[in-house]
Amino acid sequence: EDKVVQSPLSLVVHEGDTVTLNCSYEVTNFRSLLWYKQEKKAPTFLFMLTSSGIEKKSGRLSSILDKKELSSILNITATQTGDSAIYLCAVVYGGSQGNLIFGKGTKLSVKP
């Protein structure tokens, strides 16, 4: 069965800390991996990763894909309270039309 597993499921840190969120996957015909941030309602796109070993960066957030290990990490440095959210990992896989499945998410709480 195709699946995406995220860890930890929840995390509490203090402002200024650095966090690493993990995503591993088992799918047929992997195509790409996406990270989303969900604060209240709609998830918002962060990164799309297709090539192994190439880091994507946006401000204090960065992510990298390891196709050999079937995993990805999302790093957040110098965390702020505004980083508190659920971080979702999703994988596009399958045949020509593709499909996309999500992990359960990591709930990050950043305390002042």
Partner 1 sequence: DTGVSQDPRHKITKRGQNVTFRCDPISEHNRLYWYRQTLGQGPEFLTYFQNEAQLEKSRLLSDRFSAERPKGSFSTLEIQRTEQGDSAMYLCASSLVPGVSHPGEKLFFGSGTQLSVL
**Is 42 near partner 1 (CB under 8 A)?**
yes
Kindly tell me which of 17 and 67 has the beta carbon lying closer to partner 1.
67
**Is 3 near partner 1 (CB under 8 A)?**
no
Number of residues located near partner 1, criterion CB under 8 A: 27
- According to the 3-state scheme, what is the secondary structure of the chain? CCEEEEECCEEEEECCCCEEEEEEEECCCEEEEEEEEECCCCCEEEEEECCCCCCEEECCEEEEEECCCCEEEEEECCCCHHHCEEEEEEEEECCCCCEEEECCCEEEEEEC
Considering the complex, what minimum distance in angstroms separates the CB of residue 53 from partner 1? 16
**Is 81 near partner 1 (CB under 8 A)?**
no
Q: Which of 44, 52, 80, 81 binds partner 1 (CB under 8 A)?
A: 44
Q: Strand 99-102 vs strand 71-76: parallel, antiparallel, or unpaired?
A: unpaired
Q: Give the interface segment with partner 1, choosing from 14-22, 32-40, 56-64, 74-82 (CB under 8 A).
A: 32-40
CB 111 within 8 A of CB 80: no
**Is 92 near partner 1 (CB under 8 A)?**
yes
For partner 1, the binding residues (CB under 8 A) are 4, 6, 31-34, 36, 41-45, 48, 50, 88, 90, 92, 96-105
